[in-house]
């Protein structure tokens, strides 16, 4: 009889250890899933900031190309020159604008933390709409 009582205590300890390890595994899995979701949420915020920065870079490229004479002689913005901060946050968000050699297209790269988003625009066809700016090349006609 004494031998059976001692075995019952061992079974109880083993069952408590088994149940506690299952609970620990389940809570670790739940914690890692929550952490993954939090990282994805932060990534979405950085992505939105980077898209808005790239859009601001496109606006700057259009302004520079059609308002500033000789804009395509140099790249107007170098990395690190143009930073701005969103309201109530201390996260630096920047954009970089590059024109191609013929000034027929511009690329804008928006950066936020480790997230980057880019836009590209073709500038060739904008002058065809008329009234865009005085910096559009004037088409010359030759008399026949």
Secondary structure (DSSP) of 97-141: EEE-TTSSEEEEEEEETTEEEEEEEE-GGGGGGSSS-TTSPPPP-
Report domain extents, the chain: 2-129
pLDDT in tens, 85-117: 555 467 778 888 888 877 788 888 888 888 899
- Confidence at 51, pLDDT banded by 50, 70, 90: very high
pLDDT in tens, 129-141: 665 556 665 554 4
pTM of the entire predicted model? 0.60
């Amino acid at each position: 009889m004494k031998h059976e009582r001692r075995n019952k205590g061992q079974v109880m300890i083993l069952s408590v250890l088994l149940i506690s390890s299952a609970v620990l595994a389940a809570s670790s899995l739940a914690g890692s899933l929550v952490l993954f979701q939090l990282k994805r949420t932060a990534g979405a915020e950085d992505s939105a900031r980077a898209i808005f920065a790239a859009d601001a870079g496109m606006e700057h490229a259009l302004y520079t190309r059609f308002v500033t004479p000789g804009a395509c002689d140099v790249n107007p913005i170098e990395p690190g020159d143009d930073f701005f901060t969103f309201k109530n946050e201390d996260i630096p968000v920047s954009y970089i604008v590059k024109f191609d050699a013929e000034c027929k297209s511009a690329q804008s790269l928006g950066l936020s933390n480790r997230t980057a988003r880019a836009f590209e625009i073709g500038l060739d066809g904008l002058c065809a709409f008329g009234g865009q700016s005085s910096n559009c090349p004037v088409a010359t006609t030759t008399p026949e």
